Amino acid sequence: MNIILFTSSSSKSGGSRQTLYLAQGLSGHGHKVAFFIPEASELPELDPHFPFRYLPGQASAWKKTLIEALPESEAAVLHSFHNPALKILALFDLFRKRRLVTLAHRGVTFRPKNPLPYWSPGIDHYTINSYRGVRILKSLGLRESSISYVPNAIPAERLKAMRSPAEVRASLNIPPGSLLFLCISGDAKYKGVSVLMRAFARAFPGSGPDPASAPRLLVAGLLFDWNPLQKELGMEERIRCLGYSEDVGSLYAAADVFVLPSLTESMPNTLLEALRAGLPCIGTDVGDVSDILQDPKTVPAGLVVKAGNVEKLAAALREMAGDPDLRARCKDAALRRSRLFTPERRLDIVEGLYNKLLQDKGFIR
């Protein structure tokens, strides 16, 4: 297949990584893939060898660049990622002279302020990475047949550890015998880091009879100085903050429990990474977190609490810390659930969707 992917995001965010993973997978399956990214994109840092193509600096020139990339006589798929790219695709319904199928991906769960782009004839189909997102688009009046659920995926390479758990703990002065809660997040308020720190302090306020074995919390991915809150909570020794790191595999391997305290999410990559690492999880009831962790047909892979509720999160932290059997059950369930979020499964879904759309238009048999 001839496939053109383009994203308007310049960061190494979870959504951008997912687009890169897809481009890598489709290329690996032998498709002709052109992946367009903004000039200032950080994605080449993640894969310097991938043959990225670049969008012009002015978004008004993107249409011309994309049209020039389309094959003259063969059918093609054009798939946009992130909201500005979606709007570009919706506004320029000038691809119709070509044998082309157009798709837009949506990776957020809030209702769009302007629904008009979603009613555009310039977009044939929508891919959504969460069931909640699917429901939102259906509420806008979009036909169910024009929407497909395509979950995020985590490649095994993402979990490759560069250091041993002992090395990680020693570098952060975390005793070998203490239970380690891990959160990989960011400084933005909606990530819920302050809620998590307050909940941790409430769950484990004293040092106990053996301070060395008291639970610890590691929050990675932070750029701001969180020391004032750590001091306020009296948790300078028990809460560790770490900056941005690509060596997340080592952090997952060193941890005992993963915590996602976000106030809003869609399908968070870090939660899927934690599942693939076999960690029992605690998450908030945002996006598809409940669906991911607590499928009613299987053993739960973790606990789910109300977002922003310090007391409920503290209770979940205490429950997970005090019940080794619960952690073992969640660990086994996490590994089983992680099979739903592999690149191979997502590629099967996407390739099947592209083929169906091309067939429906009569471009291929």
Domain borders along the chain are: 2-153+342-360, 156-341
Global pTM reads 0.93
Kindly state the helix (H) or strand (E) to which residue 248 belongs, with its residue range.
Answer: helix 248-254
* pLDDT tens per residue across span 291-318: 999 987 788 999 999 999 999 999 999 9
How confident is the model over 178-198, as a mean pLDDT?
A: 97
Could you tell me which of 225, 267, 254, 276 has the C-alpha nearest to residue 13? Answer: 267
State the residue for tokens 């880091």: 193
d(CA 104, CA 154): 21
Could you tell me the pLDDT band of residue 209, with boundaries at 50, 70 and 90? low
By CB atoms closer than 10 A (0-12, 13-18, 19+), residue 134 is buried
Kindly state the helix (H) or strand (E) to which residue 281 belongs, with its residue range.
Answer: strand 281-284
How confident is the model over 171-193, as a mean pLDDT?
A: 95
Could you tell me which of 290, 343, 294, 286 has the C-alpha nearest to residue 108? Answer: 286
Mean pLDDT of the chain: 94
| Three-state secondary-structure class, residue 120 | coil
pLDDT of residue 200: 98
pLDDT of residue 364: 87
281, two tokens:
């999880």
pLDDT of residue 278: 97
236: β partners: none
How confident is the model over 113-127, as a mean pLDDT?
A: 92
Region 156-341: CATH code: 3.40.50.2000
Q: What secondary structure letter does DSSP report for 204?
A: S
Calculate the alpha carbon distances from 277 to 166, 233, 357 in Å. Answer: 17, 30, 35
* pLDDT tens per residue across span 65-86: 999 999 988 999 999 999 999 9
Q: Which of 14-28, 88-102, 150-164, 276-290 has the lowest mean pLDDT?
A: 88-102
pLDDT of residue 208: 57
For strands 257-260 and 180-184, give the pairing. Answer: parallel
Task: Count CB-CB contacts under 10 A for residue 114.
Answer: 7
d(CA 24, CA 31): 10
244, two tokens:
């941005």
pLDDT at 94 over 60: no
| Three-state secondary-structure class, residue 303 | strand
pLDDT of residue 236: 93
pLDDT of residue 157: 95
pLDDT of residue 211: 67
260: β partners: 283
d(CA 251, CA 211): 22
pLDDT at 95 over 60: no
Q: Are 156 and 339 in contact (CB under 8 A)?
A: no
**Is-same-fold flag (2-153+342-360; 156-341)?**
yes
Q: Which alpha helices (H) appear in 102-225, and where do they start and end?
A: 131-139, 165-171, 193-203
How confident is the model over 267-281, as a mean pLDDT?
A: 97
Could you tell me the pLDDT band of residue 256, with boundaries at 50, 70 and 90? very high
How confident is the model over 28-50, as a mean pLDDT?
A: 97
Could you tell me the pLDDT band of residue 207, with boundaries at 50, 70 and 90? low
Going across the sheet that includes 76-81, the strands are: 53-54, 32-37, 2-7, 76-81, 100-106, 125-128, 147-149
Q: Are 146 and 182 in contact (CB under 8 A)?
A: no
pLDDT at 92 over 90: no
32: β partners: 2
Q: Which of 172-176, 211-215, 271-275, 345-349 has the lowest mean pLDDT?
A: 211-215
CA 164 vs. chain centroid, Å, equals 25
Superfamily in which the 2-153+342-360 domain is placed by CATH: Glycogen Phosphorylase B; (3.40.50.2000)
195, two tokens:
């809620």
> In sequence order, what are the residues at sequence separation of 6 or more whose Cβ sits closer than 8 angstroms to the Cβ of residue 250?
161, 162, 163, 164, 165, 167, 168
pLDDT at 177 over 90: no
pLDDT at 97 over 80: no
